[in-house]
Amino acid sequence: MTDFLLDPALVDLRARVRAFVDQRILPVEEAILAESVAGERKTLQALQAEARAAGLWTPHLPVEYGGLGLGVMGMCALFREMGRSPVGAKVFNCDAPDQGNMDLLLRAGSAPLREKYLPPLCAAEVTSAFCMTEPAPGAGADPSNLRTRARPEGGGFVIDGHKWYSTGGERAAFLIVMARTSDDPRTGASMFVVDRDAPGVEYVRRIPVMSEPVLDHLEGEFRFTGVQVGPEAVLGGVGDGFRLAQARLVPARLTHCMRWLGLAARALEMCRAYLGARRSFGKRLGEHQLVQKMIAENATAIHAGNLMTLHCATLLEAGQDKAARPYSSMAKTHV
């Protein structure tokens, strides 16, 4: 039987994050979103300073990088509370794609890469992007279709290719780029850290999506033409790209799930408050049986999503990464 009971210290930390979100973020949430559309960050940066002072900054990072050293289970618990606001994770500096890119640099970055890119990213002085998806017939849901190539030259590599839907691309200071280095189906891809302003990197455009262009959730399109990088730019080793993609994307699915579950729980709270105040046909809306059924079904779906996500998190914390993969996909599909 899986035990989802949290350590008392983590329960206390979760309560602190919940209080910070409800008391400090929600009252100014609309101001942060409006400022972000206008290119301003005054309110966001003020709250980030508060989160840092409260000891809630980058909780996923090791203590030596200013974080709290939490594992996957701990981060799932906190993301559930941060997700009550669409700007919550950004305030605590663990939003996508930066959180996953920090983890990749820690897991697989060379000493020069960590020294150059981690400190400003951990301090929220810069943002980053993850570049894997390509226009058809390139890589999308199937990364084996990868068309971007990195060929060895002069001790380093030269990258040529085309990427789009690169989250964070418009404002990123650096990019993590997935490129093909051989035709081997298992070890044919590698990941490279590339400076945004490196010669040959062209930012083509912001790709329009259904949501508002807020914060750093901006989908970018890039072309790479003869981009030269040194051997230290490789994450892990040559041929580790597919392995690192799995290591990054499986827990990333969980963090996205928990954020959306947090927002869903907040929406359900708002619905229940309205149903208790609004009257129709002589009684409160919440007293109508069909309305009660809808609320119950939503509460059940949210609870199921929580359990599916936490189950996958326990597998990851136990080092069972391969076993966790299908469950992360199930959680993503359900949520």
Stretch 104-123: mean pLDDT: 95
pLDDT in tens, 178-215: 999 999 988 999 999 999 999 999 999 999 888 776 77
Averaged over 33-50, what is the pLDDT?
A: 90
User: Tokens standing for 43?
Assistant: 């309110």
> pLDDT digits over 226-243, tens only?
999 999 999 999 999 999
Instruction: Tell me the average pLDDT across 158-182.
Output: 95
Residue type at position 4: F
Return the percentage of the chain with pLDDT > 70, whole number. 99
Of residues 6 and 304, the one with the higher pLDDT is: 304
Per residue in 45-101, pLDDT (tens digit) is: 999 999 999 999 999 999 999 999 999 999 999 999 999 999 999 999 999 999 999
Cβ-in-10-Å burial (0-12, 13-18, 19+) of 43 comes to: buried
Average pLDDT, the chain: 93
Q: Could you tell me what percent of the chain has a pLDDT over 90?
A: 84
Residue 83 · residue 89 · CB < 8 Å: yes
CA distance 303 to 299: 6
Q: Which pLDDT belongs to residue 3?
A: 59
pLDDT in tens, 253-275: 999 999 999 999 999 999 999 99
2 — pLDDT class (breaks 50, 70, 90): low
- CATH numbers and ranges of domains, the chain: 8-94 (1.10.540.10), 128-239 (2.40.110.10), 242-334 (1.20.140.10)
Q: What is the pLDDT of residues 279-296, one digit of tens each?
A: 999 999 999 999 999 999
- pLDDT at position 256: 92
| Cβ atoms of 323 and 315 closer than 8 Å | yes
Per-residue model confidence (pLDDT) at position 315: 94
pLDDT at residue 1, rounded to an integer: 42
pLDDT band at 218 (very low <50, low <70, confident <90, very high): confident
Reduced to 3 states (helix: H, G, I; strand: E, B; else coil), residue 211 is: coil
SS3 content of the chain, % helix, strand, coil (to 5): 50, 15, 30
